[in-house]
Structure 1
Amino acid sequence: EFLGKSLKSITVEKAGIIKKKGVAVTAEARPALLGVIKKAALKQGAALYVLGRDFKIHVKTARDGRAVFDYCGIWERIDNIKLGLRGLHQVKNAACALATVEALKREGFKITVPAIKRGLEKTRWPGRFEVIKKKPLVILDSAHNIDGAKTLKEALKYLKPKRLFLVIGIMADKDVDGIVRELAPLACEVIASAPDTARAAVTTVIKKKCLPYAQVVHEASSVDDACALALRLAGKEDVVCVTGSMYTVGESKKYFGEEN
């Protein structure tokens, strides 16, 4: 929204933070975008380390979306890292953080492997693939744009739920069509809701946009009602995902007793 209207223009802006004779780390794999980063690093005379080329990851297990992985780094190797954040994309993010730590250690910073492991295991990010309840597994994710929806989609697919119930409330000024197109096909049932704000898209609009992708679409007058309906419909082995907006996730956290 603020950095540019295309992925390339956004990448140009982000690559602008690369400092002269500095170090840059990226997980970007798309050739056109990686080319932008390489060009910026070369211009600044900065070292560039790329996931998959200079450092690698091997995911060993994933439970409730949380991964245990091995890191084969630029200079070091660390095995059996437990990640507090959920989703395969967070493993890639963690790998970039680890590569950055390696670079810092070369500059004289004292960072131990136990401290690294402890930090990654204890990291939490409220509202980002956050598990708030088990049996059924209830996940809150504030995906409110296409990129966020795509990331959430991949994380949910990686989780391989028996059945997925999607509670979704989106702001009217966001890309409702795009978000719905990414997420609705994953769900056996969708519950369209509207958080308590004038910006929210009305449930009839969300329902209409979901119908081409989902077998069953409900409407709920509030986020609380949507969450209650999802819990009634879901079995203990199913997954409920609340998403579409920070407002929607915020109200759902209050419903589940997690006001902080």
Structure 2
Amino acid sequence: MERVREALEALGHPERRYPVLHVAGTNGKGSTCAFAATALQAAGHRVGLYTSPHLVRVNERIRVGGEDISDEDFGRAILEVLERYPSAVAEPMTYFEFGTVVALWHFAQAGVDVVVLETGLGGRLDATTAAPSIVTAITPVSFDHMEYLGNTLGSIAGEKAGILKPGVPCVVARQEPEALEAIEARARALSVPLWVEGRDFSVETQADGSLAYRGPGWRLDGLRTSLRGPHQLQNAGVALACLEALDARGIAVTPEAARAGLGSARWPGRLEEVGQGPTVLLDGAHNPAGVAVLLASLRALYAGRPIHCVFGVVADKDRGPMMRALFPACASVQLTPLDTPRSLSPAAYLDEARALAADVAAWPDVDAALAEARRRAGVDGVVLCTGSLFLVGMVRARKDRPRTP
């Protein structure tokens, strides 16, 4: 945190020029940020949105008014930060630290009214935590990045709760008891008022398929979400509670704007269809909890259709639980390397995969794996690309290319 704070001081503290909604968690935080940012924009605010990782281009991480930062603005912001803080090169910052500082600087130069910040992998030591926030949120906490965050839900939740600020309200999604205890302990120490799902706010599905939100002050019925999957019910609820909390703290958001935000938000790479005949589905599930959510969504959205999986994983992920849950549900599995030095070679876990599914093959690249999955799926099957956001980005970058016979 010292390097980030030093850089922001050298830049004249751009992070203090706008109010911030800060969101941490293991799964769902990106969708929650997308819902909140879109609603804030519908309310008439000029909104800065910082998320990670990107799928195809790094510009995706920094958005103002719903648009990715342009190459010109990105280059200008980088040079301006380096001019004012040359130590970023002399004593190199990490990729994420530098990107966060550039984003916070750009938001100030762009004159945004409010910023939605998504943490990276943690919270307590995350570069985004250097920005003061007026509302924070923690989406569901589960096992991921254990080498950095700890091996228990309590330790992981404690790291995520590092974004809490004294007296600043925090919206908390429904959690496992161990995780909630750690968050509540941190909240007590800082006198943080918690809005806990199931106690202070809730979202339920109505008979007509719409959603009903009940919060401390808002009662909204007939809501619809643009993002697919049953898990988006919870993400929408957390986002609505954040918006209600922001409204109470002076960032005006009407229920109508909140409704519009839920109905028009976009978050690529999460249950995203990018092709038909067969359906090609992208989902960034990359931990056991994410795979559990994915499987529930497949049952709800593609019941009875055979799933042909293209799967790639990075070497530092706990792939075993993901594979044991996902592969038995697939008609075939095509393993592919990823376009990153962190990629795990398919040969390294081919035997492990074959013990979990009847039809498994390894391929030298994603194009070959995709071609085989498409062939097996035919017209009626579903080609599911998952296991890593790197894979989602690779396939997404190919979606507009002509397909070879």
Aligned to 2:226, what secondary structure does the other structure show?
A: strand
Which position in structure 1 is the counterpart of 2:215? 73
- Counterpart contact for 1:58–1:69, Cα < 8 Å: yes
**Which of 321, 324, 327 is residue 184 of structure 1 equivalent to?**
327
Label 1:147 to 1:202 Cα distance change in 2 as closer, same or farther (>3 A): same
Contact 1:176 1:206 in 2 (8 A): no
Aligned to 1:106: 248
Q: What aligned pairs does 1:79-118 form with structure 2 within 5 A after superposition?
A: 79-118=221-260
Q: Tell me the equivalent position of 2:156.
A: 10
For the 8 Å contact 2:278–2:378, the answer to whether it is kept is yes
Q: Deviations over 1:231-258 (max 9, x none)?
A: 2221444322101223322221233227
Give 3-state SS (helix, strand or coil) of 2:391's partner. helix
Match of 2:202 in 1: 56
Classify 1:153/1:10 alpha carbon distance in 2 versus 1 (closer, same or farther; 3 Å).
same
CA contact (8 A) 1:192 1:206 kept: no
Q: Percent identity?
A: 36
Which of these residues, 163, 179, 188, is aligned with residue 42 of structure 1? 188
> Could you say which residue in structure 2 is the equivalent of 1:244?
387
Post-superposition offset of 1:166: 0.8
User: Aligned Cα RMSD in Å?
Assistant: 2.4
The answer to which structure has the higher strand fraction is 1
Matched, 1:207 2:350: yes
Amino acid aligned to 2:192: A
CA positional deviation for 1:197: 4.2
Aligned to 2:177: 31
Pairing partner for 2:296 from 154, 157, 178: 154
State the shift of 1:160 in Å.
4.1
The match for 1:143 is 285
Matched, 1:194 2:337: yes
What is the DSSP-based 3-state SS (H/G/I as helix, E as strand, rest coil) of the residue aligned with 1:167? strand
In the aligned structure 1, how far is the partner of 2:188 from the partner of 2:340?
47
Secondary structure class of the residue paired with 2:285: coil
Structure 1 residue matching 2:313: 3-state secondary structure: coil
- Cα deviation for residue 14 of structure 1 reads 1.7
Letter matched to residue 55 of structure 1:
F
Does structure 1 conserve the Cα–Cα contact (< 8 Å) formed by 2:204 and 2:233?
Answer: no
In 2: Cα distance, 1:75 partner to 1:188 partner: 48
1:148, distance to aligned residue in structure 2 (A): 3.1
Distance 1:186 1:14, change over 3 A: same
In structure 2, the residue matched to 1:121 is: 263
Alignment gaps of 5+ in structure 2: 1-144
Asked whether the 8 Å contact 1:19–1:46 carries over to 2, the reply is: yes
Cα separation, 1, equivalents of 2:187 and 2:341:
44
The alignment partner of 1:199 has SS state of coil
The SS at the match of 1:92 is helix
SS at match of 1:84: coil
Q: TM-score, normalised by structure 2?
A: 0.57
Give 1 or 2 for the bigger CA radius of gyration: 2
After TM superposition, the runs of 4+ consecutive aligned structure 1 residues lying more than 6 A away are none
**How many Å apart are 1:48 and its aligned residue?**
1.3
User: Secondary structure, in 3 states, of the residue corresponding to 1:85?
Assistant: coil
* CA displacement at 1:105 relative to structure 2: 1.9
Read off the aligned partner of 1:26 and give its amino acid letter: V
- Asked whether the 8 Å contact 1:224–1:251 carries over to 2, the reply is no
CA distance in 2, matches of 1:138, 1:91: 24
Task: Show structure 1 runs of 5+ residues with no match.
Answer: none
CA contact (8 A) 1:166 1:191 kept: yes
CA distance, structure 2, for counterparts of residue 130 and residue 61 of structure 1:
26
CA distance in 2, matches of 1:16, 1:248: 30
Flag the 1:21–1:172 CA change in 2: closer, same or farther, 3 A.
closer
Please say if 1:20 is aligned against 2:162. Answer: no
Change (3 A) 1:10 1:198: closer
SS at match of 2:371: helix
Which digits, 9 at most, give the CA deviation of each residue in 1:73-110, with x for residues without a partner? 22211122221222222221110111121122222332
Q: SS at 1:78's partner residue?
A: strand
Distance in 2, matches of 1:240 and 1:3, equals: 33
SS at match of 1:129: strand
> Which deviations, in whole Å up to 9, do the C-alpha atoms of 1:187-230 show, x marking residues without a partner?
11111122344533222333322222212112323111111222
397, 400, 403: which one aligns with 1:254? 397
Q: Which amino acid aligns with 2:233?
A: V
Q: CA 1:236 to 1:118, structure 2 compared with 1: closer, same or farther past 3 Å?
A: farther
Query: How far, CA to CA, are the matches of 1:116 and 1:235 in structure 2?
Result: 40
